[in-house]
Amino acid sequence: MSYRSIAIDGPAGAGKSTLARRLAKELGYLYVDTGAIYRTVTLAVLRAGADPAEEKDVVPLLEGLDIRMAYNDAGEQRMYLSGEDVSEAIREHMVSGAASKVSAIPAVRTFLLDFQRRQARENNVVMDGRDIGTVVLPGADMKIFLTAAPEARARRRLLELEQRGQRADYDAILRDIRERDHQDESRSVAPLKRAGDADLFDTTQLNLEQSLAGLLSLVKEKIGP
Ligand code: DC
């Protein structure tokens, strides 16, 4: 039996993970958040006291890494590092910044390639990341490049932090977003870019429900009900 795959790529804060998760639920597919996998490697690098930007410090750590991904009863993806559930720890601000550096190291990407592909060999998946349509699943049944203006992404992030009761500054968030975009787009290995055969989907003017409805109709058009 062959499985269906939908690849969703795009910059941080375009609503990718929320939309990919909701889309997967609507379709009954497994949602694979590949950013969480990179974040888990990054957490291991930080905990080892290594410099996330130094290839020669990071590469020797890969061999001994014990990373696992599992789904709980609610269908949520959980990440484990050496048996410890690190699903919350990988969301910390320090990990976000360092993940951009760790994910630019070619050996890290090669190391994670099969890990990601295996999920799509064994399940119908909606997989999101930066290079899913271009590198990880070039033969995906459908590819979506999801984006939004940096200012819209910064506003959404600010709201999210405020709702969690955290203090945040719009200008600092916008600066952070622009910096991460630049790092993700300019790296030499698997840079963030739209695959030639990906549908562009811009959520700047759309709320979550409108975006989901738009994505669902795209999916119906491309791969049927
Ligand atoms: O989507 P995110 O913010 O959780 O991703 C964390 C980091 O990992 C981000 O800097 C981009 C990187 N990443 C990547 O290089 N390739 C992917 N497929 C997914 C994430």
Asked if residues 131 and 66 have their Cβ atoms less than 8 Å apart, the reply is no
CA-wise closest residue to 34 among 15, 14, 16: 16
Mean pLDDT confidence for 13-25: 92
Measured from the Cα of 36, ligand 1's closest atom is 4
pLDDT of residue 108: 96
C-beta of 32 in contact with ligand 1 (< 6 A): no
Residue to mutate, 77, 113, 130, 134, ligand 1, most ligand atoms under 8 Å from C-beta? 130
Query: Alpha-carbon distance 207 to 175, whole Å?
Result: 23
C-beta of 181 in contact with ligand 1 (< 6 A): no
Asked if residues 26 and 20 have their Cβ atoms less than 8 Å apart, the reply is no
pLDDT band for position 1 (50/70/90)? low
Asked if residues 70 and 123 have their Cβ atoms less than 8 Å apart, the reply is no
The residue whose C-alpha atom lies closest to atom 15 belonging to ligand 1 is 103
- What are the pLDDT digits (tens) for 99-116? 989 999 999 999 999 999
C-beta of 37 in contact with ligand 1 (< 6 A): no
C-beta of 77 in contact with ligand 1 (< 6 A): no
Measured from the Cα of 38, ligand 1's closest atom is 8
Measured from the Cα of 128, ligand 1's closest atom is 18
- What are the pLDDT digits (tens) for 188-221? 877 888 999 999 999 999 999 999 999 999 999 9
SS3 string, 167-208, reads CCCHHHHHHHHHHHHHHHHHCCCCCCCCCCCCEEEECCCCCH
pTM for this structure? 0.89
